[in-house]
Structure 1
């Protein structure tokens, strides 16, 4: 594996033009690059963390929400997926699932090393999918084991594999534990704290260019918002796993529900006006 050591966080303002230009090329084959991006000396800006917590409705605390390190890893993920040898253009890829494992509470004052790589390219009924794996290692853990791991699964549509599609039976949505109003500007607000300025999230005009009738909420915002609903009940070590279903068209009213499941929880986010799920997930103690 080729390791690329970075001395600073990649500039997202320069990576987005690369992503746009990359969208003009065809998909480039079936081989993911054998490359890992590594950045040491990563620290958390408490003011940025506070802004993130406010947007996602986490409480202010001296530990990180499990979804926050995804924000630290995002520039490295972008750098990896805009490299010339990456087989798929970034524009048009769909974030279909995300699994985060936190092995202990992570304090704001820690210093970290980040590692990001792509792996497990495989067929999908609608094209091909692969995982981008991000790991956070703390200088407080001399053994060098990750304290946090994030696996984001992406779908590249086209060239369907011919796999037989599983029949899914959609049930009526369960009685919600809470109804949330999602404001029309949440895409722009989350973009400010996450750096993810994909035009589908920013305003209706740019979203329509990609086939959406309005801007849509970031999938990782919906995951973070759901996780915030469990604050005060989460164990020190756990995995939170979600599958992203239908996008949340902004503004929106959504229904959140959760239930105990095998020592942890299962949860769903639904369109409050129609029986259609936006997200399904689980929280499992480690």
Structure 2
């Protein structure tokens, strides 16, 4: 397993030598793969607890994961993230990882994979496209069992830079003016972009046709379902469970180095927590989510969803959106 810490250091070193938006930039035509291996039950049980997955899947009271149940839909993304960061901080990757903003994610389960099935993980960069706020890269992660694709994700990451008027083909639905950005040195940077903030994240390199970019609804008016009080150490606890110890999530002091008054919650935690709250997470086969604004810790947030359970959002007490998304379940 590649070291996420080493990738963060490499990203900080190489980013000053890369310039987003340069003519002729191309993505590395390489796929990075982790050999097939069963999911480790201990770390998975910890991940389930911190994200609120309390249904089938864990042996009650033992901290052990039952082998007859699938991991949460978001978990393969967590397993592959260090490998993705290795690709994105490599010399051939055209964008500086310091400054990338994670604007959306789309995950699809093609068939249920259980934790005792050896899972092969592959990451690659699927597409590089002009965006009206800069350049967007679409990152892909795939999971296979015995050579069969069982799970995949697509993520959009925006490298912000000056563009000509009218440049770019993508409507900026996640990164509107006046919203915050997650500043980072190389992990999942969620939210709408604030000028001058730096962020980072990734997966990795070249092959299949990318999925259509999702545009989750920005309703801000779904009925409330639950209120969560998030502790100040949530970033440290999730970082220990996921391996994502980005300094912006850990302490107020380290977050202030990147322009935030306090530590912020991981965006991938907010997605996972919403899926857990949605109920029957083992039946969710597709989710798409747009990151709108970071959650400053500690915080009180409201999870809201429509009556059918298809659309959801996370917002603060004033109605400001942190996350919007849609869910599709098995029939």
Task: Classify the TM-score, shorter chain.
Answer: 0.7 to 0.9
* CA separation of 1:52 and 1:172: change in aligned 2, threshold 3 A: closer
Match of 1:181 among 192, 212, 229: 229
TM-score normalised to the size of structure 2? 0.76
Match of 2:304 among 246, 257, 264: 257
Partner of 2:12 in structure 1?
20
Q: Is the 8 A contact 1:204 1:213 kept in 2?
A: yes
Aligned pair count reads 270
TM-score normalised to the size of structure 1? 0.88
CA distance in 1, matches of 2:281, 2:13: 45
Q: Is the 8 A contact 1:245 1:279 kept in 2?
A: yes
Partner of 1:281 in structure 2?
325
CA distance in 1, matches of 2:123, 2:258: 28
Deviations 1:28-76 (A, max 9, x none): 6421111110121222110000000011011250321000111111011
Match of 1:159 among 155, 158, 162: 162
Give me the CA root mean square deviation.
2.2
Deviations 1:242-265 (A, max 9, x none): 00001111111101111145xx61
Measured after TM superposition, the shift of residue 101 of structure 1 is 0.3
Q: Is the 8 A contact 2:53 2:276 kept in 1?
A: yes
Deviates more, 1:65-74 or 1:55-64: 55-64
Match of 1:42 among 32, 37, 47: 37
Deviations 1:125-148 (A, max 9, x none): 211111110000012xxxx33100
What SS does the corresponding residue of 1:146 show, helix, strand or coil?
A: strand
Long gaps (5+) in structure 2 = 58-68, 177-216
* CA separation of 1:163 and 1:216: change in aligned 2, threshold 3 A: farther
CA distance in 1, matches of 2:105, 2:251: 24
What SS does the corresponding residue of 1:19 show, helix, strand or coil?
A: helix
Asked if 1:147 is matched to 2:195, the reply is no
Q: Is the 8 A contact 1:117 1:132 kept in 2?
A: yes
Q: Which has the higher contact order (CA 8 A, sep 6+)?
A: 2
CA distance in 2, matches of 1:95, 1:38: 22
Measured after TM superposition, the shift of residue 170 of structure 1 is 7.0
Q: Would you identify which runs of 4 or more consecutive aligned residues in structure 1 move more than 4 Å?
A: 164-172
Asked if 1:270 is matched to 2:277, the reply is no
CA distance in 2, matches of 1:124, 1:118: 16
Partner of 2:145 in structure 1?
138
What SS does the corresponding residue of 1:147 show, helix, strand or coil?
A: strand
CA distance in 2, matches of 1:122, 1:161: 14
Measured after TM superposition, the shift of residue 87 of structure 1 is 0.8
Asked if 1:192 is matched to 2:240, the reply is yes
CA distance in 2, matches of 1:260, 1:138: 35
CA distance in 1, matches of 2:29, 2:247: 29
Match of 1:79 among 64, 68, 86: 86
Partner of 1:97 in structure 2?
104
Measured after TM superposition, the shift of residue 86 of structure 1 is 0.7
Long gaps (5+) in structure 1 = 1-8
* Greater strand content: 1
Asked if 1:245 is matched to 2:237, the reply is no
What SS does the corresponding residue of 1:177 show, helix, strand or coil?
A: strand
